[in-house]
Amino acid sequence: MPRRVTPLPPRAAVAPVIPIRPPVTPAPAVRAQRLATVTRLPAAATRAAIPARVRAAVAARDNDLCVRCCSARDLQQHHRRIKGHGGDRRPHTDCPCNIVTLCSFGGCHEWAHQAGRLRAVTEGLIVPSVTALPGLLPVTLYGVSRGAPAWPSCDGTWETQCPDGAA
Protein backbone atom coordinates (compact mmCIF):
# COMPACT_ATOMS: atom_id res chain seq x y z
CA MET A 1 0.00 0.00 0.00
CA PRO A 2 1.45 3.41 -0.94
CA ARG A 3 2.35 5.87 1.77
CA ARG A 4 -0.06 8.78 2.46
CA VAL A 5 1.15 12.14 1.11
CA THR A 6 -1.65 14.51 2.12
CA PRO A 7 -1.63 15.70 5.72
CA LEU A 8 -4.40 14.60 8.07
CA PRO A 9 -6.43 17.27 9.92
CA PRO A 10 -5.52 17.69 13.58
CA ARG A 11 -7.62 15.76 16.07
CA ALA A 12 -10.23 17.67 18.04
CA ALA A 13 -10.28 17.42 21.78
CA VAL A 14 -12.79 14.84 23.01
CA ALA A 15 -15.18 15.89 25.77
CA PRO A 16 -15.21 13.64 28.80
CA VAL A 17 -17.98 11.04 28.88
CA ILE A 18 -20.41 11.36 31.77
CA PRO A 19 -21.99 8.02 32.68
CA ILE A 20 -25.80 7.95 32.68
CA ARG A 21 -27.36 6.28 35.67
CA PRO A 22 -30.42 4.11 35.04
CA PRO A 23 -33.67 5.56 36.41
CA VAL A 24 -34.59 4.39 39.88
CA THR A 25 -37.91 2.58 40.03
CA PRO A 26 -39.82 3.60 43.16
CA ALA A 27 -41.01 0.97 45.60
CA PRO A 28 -44.59 -0.31 45.08
CA ALA A 29 -45.86 1.69 48.09
CA VAL A 30 -44.39 4.93 46.71
CA ARG A 31 -45.78 4.17 43.25
CA ALA A 32 -49.26 3.54 44.70
CA GLN A 33 -49.07 6.78 46.67
CA ARG A 34 -48.14 8.73 43.51
CA LEU A 35 -51.02 7.17 41.58
CA ALA A 36 -53.43 8.07 44.38
CA THR A 37 -52.40 11.72 44.18
CA VAL A 38 -53.02 12.01 40.43
CA THR A 39 -55.77 14.54 40.01
CA ARG A 40 -58.79 13.57 37.97
CA LEU A 41 -61.75 15.64 37.04
CA PRO A 42 -64.67 15.01 39.37
CA ALA A 43 -67.67 13.31 37.79
CA ALA A 44 -69.70 16.53 38.08
CA ALA A 45 -67.11 18.39 35.97
CA THR A 46 -67.25 15.81 33.19
CA ARG A 47 -71.05 15.80 33.27
CA ALA A 48 -71.11 19.55 32.76
CA ALA A 49 -69.36 19.12 29.41
CA ILE A 50 -72.50 17.62 27.81
CA PRO A 51 -75.61 19.83 27.78
CA ALA A 52 -78.44 18.55 29.98
CA ARG A 53 -80.93 18.17 27.11
CA VAL A 54 -78.44 16.05 25.13
CA ARG A 55 -77.63 13.99 28.22
CA ALA A 56 -81.34 13.32 28.77
CA ALA A 57 -81.93 12.41 25.09
CA VAL A 58 -79.03 9.94 25.07
CA ALA A 59 -80.14 8.36 28.36
CA ALA A 60 -83.67 7.92 27.01
CA ARG A 61 -82.41 6.54 23.68
CA ASP A 62 -80.12 4.01 25.40
CA ASN A 63 -82.80 3.07 28.01
CA ASP A 64 -80.32 3.94 30.79
CA LEU A 65 -78.25 0.87 29.87
CA CYS A 66 -74.70 0.37 28.62
CA VAL A 67 -74.88 -0.18 24.84
CA ARG A 68 -72.12 -2.79 25.08
CA CYS A 69 -72.97 -4.99 28.07
CA CYS A 70 -76.50 -3.81 29.03
CA SER A 71 -75.42 -3.00 32.59
CA ALA A 72 -77.38 -0.34 34.46
CA ARG A 73 -74.67 0.39 37.06
CA ASP A 74 -72.23 3.31 37.03
CA LEU A 75 -73.24 4.65 33.63
CA GLN A 76 -71.18 7.28 31.83
CA GLN A 77 -71.78 9.03 28.56
CA HIS A 78 -69.00 8.54 26.04
CA HIS A 79 -68.02 10.74 23.09
CA ARG A 80 -67.49 8.49 20.07
CA ARG A 81 -65.34 11.14 18.36
CA ILE A 82 -62.86 11.73 21.17
CA LYS A 83 -62.75 15.33 22.36
CA GLY A 84 -59.16 15.28 23.61
CA HIS A 85 -57.70 17.45 26.34
CA GLY A 86 -58.29 20.74 24.55
CA GLY A 87 -61.91 19.96 23.73
CA ASP A 88 -63.54 19.93 20.33
CA ARG A 89 -65.49 22.92 19.05
CA ARG A 90 -66.64 21.28 15.81
CA PRO A 91 -70.34 20.67 15.15
CA HIS A 92 -71.80 17.39 16.46
CA THR A 93 -69.31 17.10 19.33
CA ASP A 94 -72.00 17.31 22.01
CA CYS A 95 -74.71 15.89 19.78
CA PRO A 96 -76.63 12.64 20.45
CA CYS A 97 -75.14 11.19 17.25
CA ASN A 98 -71.68 11.36 18.87
CA ILE A 99 -72.56 10.18 22.39
CA VAL A 100 -73.39 6.69 23.67
CA THR A 101 -73.90 5.30 27.16
CA LEU A 102 -71.18 3.01 28.52
CA CYS A 103 -70.70 1.63 32.02
CA SER A 104 -67.72 1.96 34.27
CA PHE A 105 -68.89 -0.93 36.48
CA GLY A 106 -68.18 -3.56 33.81
CA GLY A 107 -65.25 -1.55 32.51
CA CYS A 108 -66.77 -0.87 29.08
CA HIS A 109 -65.86 2.84 29.06
CA GLU A 110 -62.27 2.17 30.12
CA TRP A 111 -62.10 -0.77 27.70
CA ALA A 112 -63.17 1.43 24.77
CA HIS A 113 -60.46 3.99 25.50
CA GLN A 114 -57.58 1.63 26.28
CA ALA A 115 -57.52 -2.16 26.21
CA GLY A 116 -60.08 -2.75 23.49
CA ARG A 117 -59.50 0.39 21.46
CA LEU A 118 -59.09 -1.40 18.11
CA ARG A 119 -62.22 -3.46 18.64
CA ALA A 120 -64.06 -0.37 19.89
CA VAL A 121 -63.28 1.28 16.55
CA THR A 122 -64.78 -1.66 14.63
CA GLU A 123 -67.86 -1.58 16.90
CA GLY A 124 -68.34 2.15 16.32
CA LEU A 125 -67.69 3.18 19.93
CA ILE A 126 -64.67 5.18 18.74
CA VAL A 127 -64.80 7.03 15.43
CA PRO A 128 -61.86 8.70 13.67
CA SER A 129 -61.26 12.30 14.67
CA VAL A 130 -61.58 13.37 11.02
CA THR A 131 -65.21 12.24 10.96
CA ALA A 132 -67.38 15.30 10.40
CA LEU A 133 -70.71 13.59 11.15
CA PRO A 134 -70.36 10.69 13.62
CA GLY A 135 -73.96 9.61 12.99
CA LEU A 136 -72.95 8.25 9.58
CA LEU A 137 -70.91 5.49 11.25
CA PRO A 138 -72.86 2.65 12.92
CA VAL A 139 -72.58 1.37 16.48
CA THR A 140 -72.80 -2.36 17.18
CA LEU A 141 -75.54 -2.71 19.79
CA TYR A 142 -75.63 -5.71 22.09
CA GLY A 143 -78.39 -6.93 24.36
CA VAL A 144 -81.74 -6.49 22.63
CA SER A 145 -80.25 -6.16 19.14
CA ARG A 146 -77.67 -8.94 19.68
CA GLY A 147 -74.85 -7.34 17.73
CA ALA A 148 -76.89 -5.53 15.09
CA PRO A 149 -75.58 -2.22 13.73
CA ALA A 150 -77.55 0.94 14.45
CA TRP A 151 -76.92 4.57 13.58
CA PRO A 152 -77.36 7.22 16.29
CA SER A 153 -79.25 10.23 14.96
CA CYS A 154 -78.99 13.87 15.93
CA ASP A 155 -82.53 13.84 17.34
CA GLY A 156 -81.63 11.20 19.92
CA THR A 157 -82.97 7.99 18.34
CA TRP A 158 -81.44 4.85 16.84
CA GLU A 159 -81.84 4.32 13.09
CA THR A 160 -81.86 0.74 11.82
CA GLN A 161 -80.79 1.71 8.29
CA CYS A 162 -77.85 3.72 7.05
CA PRO A 163 -78.84 7.41 6.91
CA ASP A 164 -78.76 9.35 3.64
CA GLY A 165 -75.34 10.54 2.61
CA ALA A 166 -73.47 7.55 4.02
CA ALA A 167 -71.71 5.02 1.88
Query: According to the per-residue pLDDT averaged within each range, which of 10-24, 111-125, 135-149 is highest?
Result: 111-125
Given a cut of 50, whether residue 38 has pLDDT beyond it is no
Question: How far apart are alpha carbons 62 and 121 in whole angstroms?
Answer: 19
Q: In the prediction, which pLDDT does 22 show? A: 62
Strand order, beta sheet including 148-152: 139-141, 148-152, 158-159
pLDDT band at 62 (very low <50, low <70, confident <90, very high): very high
CB 158 within 8 A of CB 61: yes
Given a cut of 80, whether residue 11 has pLDDT beyond it is no
pLDDT over 70 percentage in the chain? 75
Summarize pLDDT for 141-167 with one digit per residue, the tens. 886 667 789 999 999 999 988 887 554
Question: How far apart are alpha carbons 123 and 140 in whole angstroms?
Answer: 5
Tell me the mean pLDDT in the region 72-96: 86
Tell me the mean pLDDT in the region 96-120: 90
| Residue 84 buriedness (CB in 10 A; 0-12 / 13-18 / 19+) | exposed
Tell me the mean pLDDT in the region 28-38: 59
Tell me the mean pLDDT in the region 72-92: 85
Q: The pTM is what?
A: 0.67
Q: In the prediction, which pLDDT does 96 show? A: 94
